[in-house]
Homo-oligomer: A and B are copies of this chain.
């Protein structure tokens, strides 16, 4: 036996995450396609155990999916912007529908405050951006801030 790690035995089932789950989550966050065999080496567990832990995190709703990160610029979208959207009176629902149908909007949160929506938008040019936002004219007031860069890349919250 090379590994004498104690694994102090039991792990409560409903507990958010133990140290091993956290390590798995961080490893998968960095490289979601890591094979179970590699993951099992890193955390000192067998592959079936790792597979079961991942499945459990999916079932419990902690891990909601595996996805890819793409570079909008490399896809031809030179402009990324954050747009605050304030629907005109009575147009809240219509505006939300329009937002959902705008392919240029790649993400949108409903938030508290004067502007109910904050959307992330991509465009190949400023002209295309303006044209996309025209879909909302007459229904909402928008405030656009162009993204100049990223100070913090998307990362996991503390585990």
Contacts and interface: CB of A to CB of B under 8 A. Distances in A.
The secondary-structure label for the interface of chain A is mixed
Count of identical protomers in the assembly? 2
A2 interface: no
Given A110-B150, A111-B148, A148-B112, A28 B71 contact: no
A70 to B, nearest CB: 6
Contacts of A71: 61-64
Interface residues of A, number: 64
Q: List the 7 closest pairs (A to B, CB-CB), nearest first.
A: A32-B66, A108-B152, A111-B145, A108-B151, A61-B74, A65-B69, A113-B145
12 contacts: A13-B74, A14-B76, A33-B33, A61-B71, A64-B71, A65-B69, A67-B67, A67-B68, A70-B157, A104-B158, A109-B147, A110-B151
